[in-house]
């Protein structure tokens, strides 16, 4: 137990710092003590129970769920957003959260790879503000963006607008995401501009990706960069759970090996695993199995998702059935990760 004079000093310093809002340097000057003494006394005040710090989480924040996701799936970070259960609204809300995340974490040294057919990533770009301090980052399209003329604008818009917003340079991948044959892909690989983009893939330090279910989204389907129903059935028979950049993986995150992979022009899963930071922006009940597979396979290390999906991922980790709907939301905050 501290002596009364020590307790008195702790109480005085703690009140000056926590209640009166004085800086440590001001306390040093007022009390004629060293700054290291102030720091030590404040720490001691917490141990003695003189100061008790509590954190009151604002409505709409889900720190416990984010921490549980990080712990259970080995993520570096997780962002969980409260969304209405509508695919378009989920994409909009996750995109806004991704914009804030990117604005606050982007480094001047980052080389950004972006998957161009994600609705959530388009929403991210729409929500971003122009950087006040251009970072001269390079933005590389890591999935072929040529497709239906009406949908192709989406792919180029995502890449070029992101580069413009951060004051960087865009490198497009001027090829379809899916071609008709492996030989057609080999021909495109010889194109100078396609090769320029592909050769930059190993330099990517930050990848922004969507996670797709086996059944393609409406946006991807409209682009023409999809496989036929027969080919999708083949992927399902091989255990495909989802895809990133049209590279399909099973529920453990292992690549599903079929001849279809030889017709895709995008970053490979093995290349993706070499990227220092892979941020997946994905949510919705339709994508739960795909997201879980990507997390299980360590294909991503940052996840931005909706609350219902996050809670379903935590339940399924324990082998419990995934809930479908906000009424069944029963995440136990006192459950140890």
Question: Residue 148, Cα to own-chain centre: how many angstroms?
Answer: 28
For residues 91 and 203, state if they share a domain.
Answer: yes
pLDDT number for residue 328: 34
Say yes or no: 175 and 141 in one domain. yes
Structurally, the chain folds into a number of domains equal to 2
Condensed to tens digits (0 to 9), the pLDDT of residues 168-220 reads: 999 999 998 889 899 999 999 999 999 999 999 999 999 999 999 987 655 54
Q: What is the pLDDT of residue 52?
A: 87
Name the pLDDT band for 333 (thresholds 50, 70, 90).
Answer: very low
> Does the pLDDT of residue 323 top 50, yes or no?
no
- pLDDT value for 78: 95
CA angle, 284 as apex, 281 and 288 as ends, to 5°?
85
Instruction: Please tell me the pTM assigned to this model.
Output: 0.80
What is the three-class DSSP state of 247? strand
Token pair belonging to 306: 């909706």
The model's confidence at residue 61, banded by pLDDT at 50, 70 and 90, is confident
Statement to judge: residues 171 and 120 lie in one domain = yes
Same domain, residue pair 8 and 120 = no
**Do 22 and 140 share a structural domain?**
no
pLDDT higher than threshold 70 for residue 69: yes
**Whether residue 83 is found in the same domain as residue 208:** yes
Residue 53 lies in a domain: no
Instruction: Note the pLDDT of residue 153.
Output: 60
Give residue 150's pLDDT.
55
Domain residues for 41?
4-47
**Mean pLDDT, all residues of the chain:** 86
Q: Is 52 domain-assigned?
A: no
Task: Look up the CATH number of the domain holding residue 10.
Answer: 1.10.10.60
Beta strands (DSSP E) in 6-110 are 77-81
pLDDT reading at 114 higher than 60:
yes
Tell me what pLDDT residue 275 has: 97
């Amino acid at each position: 137990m501290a002596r009364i004079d020590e307790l008195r000093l702790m109480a005085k310093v703690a009140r000056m710092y926590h209640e009166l809002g004085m800086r440590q340097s001001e306390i040093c000057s007022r009390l004629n003590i060293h700054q290291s003494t102030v720091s030590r006394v404040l720490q001691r005040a917490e141990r003695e129970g003189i100061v008790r710090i509590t954190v009151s989480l604002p409505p709409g924040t889900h720190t416990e769920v984010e921490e549980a996701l990080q712990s259970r799936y080995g993520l570096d970070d997780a962002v969980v957003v409260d969304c209405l259960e509508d695919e378009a609204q989920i994409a909009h809300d996750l995109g806004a959260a991704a914009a804030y995340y990117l604005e606050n974490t982007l480094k001047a040294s980052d080389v950004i790879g972006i998957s161009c057919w994600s609705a959530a990533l388009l929403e991210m770009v729409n929500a971003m503000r122009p950087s006040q301090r251009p970072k001269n980052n390079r933005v590389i399209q890591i999935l072929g963006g040529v497709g239906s003329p009406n949908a192709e604008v989406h792919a180029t818009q995502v890449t070029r607008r992101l580069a413009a917003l951060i004051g960087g340079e865009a490198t497009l991948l001027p090829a379809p995401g899916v071609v008709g044959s492996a030989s057609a892909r080999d021909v495109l690989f010889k194109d100078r501009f396609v090769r320029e983009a592909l050769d930059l893939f190993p330099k990517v330090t930050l990848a922004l990706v969507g996670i797709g279910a086996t059944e393609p989204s409406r946006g991807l389907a409209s682009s023409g960069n999809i496989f036929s129903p027969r080919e999708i059935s083949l992927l399902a028979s091989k255990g495909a759970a989802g895809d990133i950049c049209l590279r399909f993986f099973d529920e453990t995150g292992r690549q599903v090996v079929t001849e279809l992979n030889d017709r895709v022009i995008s970053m490979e899963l093995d290349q993706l695993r070499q990227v220092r930071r892979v941020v997946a922006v994905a949510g919705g009940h339709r994508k739960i199995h795909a997201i879980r597979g990507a997390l299980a396979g360590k294909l991503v290390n940052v996840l931005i998702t909706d609350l219902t999906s996050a809670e379903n991922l935590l339940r399924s980790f324990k082998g419990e059935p995934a809930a479908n709907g906000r009424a069944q939301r029963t995440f136990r905050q006192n459950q140890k990760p």
